[in-house]
Every structure is written in structure tokens, then in C-alpha cells.
């Protein structure tokens, strides 16, 4: 690929609160996405609240914009997505060929992702391998997942810390082995551990009480760590990115 402009990463038109966590010499990078920010605009009017304030080509999965300094168009390929309510690591690449190389690792299930979540309740065990069969339906642009279906979903679960206070909540680590839509949210609910602030699958009454007491209405699901190896330019490369817990998590636990 041709050399990137010297100011490429420093001048990305990122959403407020988003920041580049790390990048490598090939043009692969990880961005820390805040909760409430869209991974990409679903419609043109969504651009102001998406990861980049730029045009987006859904077919190529690519953002495009023109830098203030002038020159030709700049592009950034999106490699994975997070629900708007989920914060944390999201991957991007500065070339289409590199994007394809990394997406092949996703297809081969070679990308390891670790999430942290704050859930209502106390897990009955400290460590477990969750195996479920889900049903994922897409209707009118919305995705809904049910705990009864025929799509395998596997997640490694670990209790990090239980907190007793105004609410009984637990910080848990979730290592998904499959990548189903809303997988973690539905698997948590199935085990009586709804994610705090989940407005689709969670405990709506507890969510209201929690928001009223703490003043925080976000969903407490965070993409904490992503790591994998990939092949590029005839050699193997390793990549890892970690997004620290947002302050609102730390304030609770």
C-alpha cells in the first residue's frame, strides 16, 4: 500500500470521546468507541453520531472524507462492529487489502475478544462455559435474539467481583467463542444476570431504579480486549488492543 499521510491517524474525524488506542506499521488500528456512538451510520443523517464523522459506503464497509489540509480522499475500512450502547475496542484498517486479510481471521474464528459487563445479581458459579442455541431474527432493520433456536452460541464466563450496595451487581468477564448478534446480552439474561442498562433484554424495572440512583443510563457492556495474528507482506504479525474500563464502571464496582 502507498504510504499514509503523516497526519493520517492524528486527524481522523472521530466522534467525540473516541480515540485511537494503538496502531501498527501496516495501517491496522484499534479505536476506543464510547457508549452511544454508532459503529457506522445506518442512514446519511446518522453521520454526526457515528464512529467517524464521514461518508460511509456500506458495500465496501469504508469511511471516506477529505482532510482539511487538502489532497485526495482519505479512507478507513471498518473491520468489526459494536452495538451503539456497547463501548470499547473496534478495529479499522487504512487499506482494503489489509482489511480483507484481517477479516479472514474473523471468518476463521482466530480473533479473541474479551468483554467486561456489569450485571444484576450473583452468579451461582465463578467460572463456566456457556453453551446455548439461539434464534436471531432481523426485521425492519432491527435485530432480536431469543434464547431458544438452532444457532450455537458459546461463551467462556468468569466472575471478576461481586459488589453489595444499593444494588447487588457483579462485574463479569465474557469471552465469546462465537459471534452471534446480541449473544452476550441474551446469554446473561438466560442465567438471571441481566446486563445493567440493557434496554432490550434487561430488567427494565431495575434499570430504572439504577439510573435514578446513579444517574447513569448506559448499558454496562464493554469490549475490553482484542487480540489475533494475521499474515501480511509475507510474514506473520501479532496485534492486541485493550480499552480501559470507562469511569462509570469503576465508580460502581
Q: Which residues carry out catalysis?
A: 83
In the structure grid, which three cell numbers stand for residue 248, read together? 462509570
Residue 32 bridge partners (DSSP):
19, 89
CA distance 173 to 122: 13
Q: What are phi and psi of 75, to 5 degrees?
A: -135, 150
What are the contacts of 57-66 at 24+ separation with CB within 8 A? 60/96, 61/99, 62/96, 65/13
Q: Are 241 and 223 in contact (CB under 8 A)?
A: no
Asked whether the beta carbons of 94 and 149 are under 8 A apart, the reply is no
Tell how strand 112-120 and strand 142-164 pair up. Answer: unpaired
Taking the C-alpha atoms of residue 229 and residue 91, their distance in angstroms, rounded to an integer, is: 14
DSSP-derived pairing of the beta strands 127-139 and 142-164 = antiparallel
Compute the C-alpha angle 64/70/75, nearest 5°: 20
Amino acid at each position: 500500500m502507498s504510504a499514509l499521510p503523516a497526519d493520517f491517524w492524528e486527524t481522523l474525524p472521530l466522534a467525540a470521546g473516541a480515540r485511537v488506542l494503538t496502531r501498527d506499521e501496516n495501517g491496522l488500528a484499534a479505536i476506543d468507541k464510547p457508549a452511544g456512538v454508532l459503529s457506522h451510520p445506518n442512514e446519511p443523517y446518522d453521520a454526526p453520531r457515528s464512529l467517524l464523522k464521514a461518508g460511509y459506503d456500506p458495500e465496501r464497509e469504508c469511511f471516506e472524507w477529505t482532510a482539511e489540509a487538502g489532497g485526495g480522499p482519505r479512507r478507513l475500512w471498518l473491520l468489526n462492529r459494536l452495538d451503539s450502547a456497547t463501548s470499547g475496542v473496534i478495529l479499522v484498517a487504512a487499506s482494503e487489502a489489509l482489511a480483507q486479510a484481517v477479516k479472514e481471521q474473523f471468518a476463521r474464528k482466530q480473533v479473541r475478544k474479551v468483554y467486561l459487563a456489569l450485571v444484576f445479581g450473583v452468579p451461582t458459579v465463578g467460572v463456566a462455559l456457556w453453551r446455548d442455541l439461539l434464534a436471531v431474527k432481523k426485521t425492519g432493520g432491527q435485530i432480536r435474539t431469543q434464547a431458544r433456536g438452532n444457532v450455537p452460541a458459546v461463551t467462556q464466563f468468569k466472575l471478576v467481583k461481586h459488589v453489595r450496595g444499593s444494588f447487588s451487581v457483579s462485574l463479569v468477564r465474557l469471552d465469546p467463542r462465537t459471534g452471534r448478534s446480541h449473544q452476550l446480552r441474551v446469554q446473561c439474561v438466560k442465567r438471571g444476570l441481566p446486563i445493567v442498562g440493557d434496554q432490550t433484554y434487561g430488567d427494565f424495572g431495575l434499570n430504572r431504579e439504577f439510573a435514578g440512583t446513579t444517574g447513569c443510563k448506559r448499558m454496562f457492556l464493554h469490549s475490553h480486549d482484542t487480540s489475533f495474528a494475521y499474515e501480511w507482506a509475507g510474514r506473520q504479525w501479532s496485534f492486541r488492543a485493550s480499552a480501559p474500563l470507562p469511569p462509570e464502571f469503576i465508580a460502581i464496582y
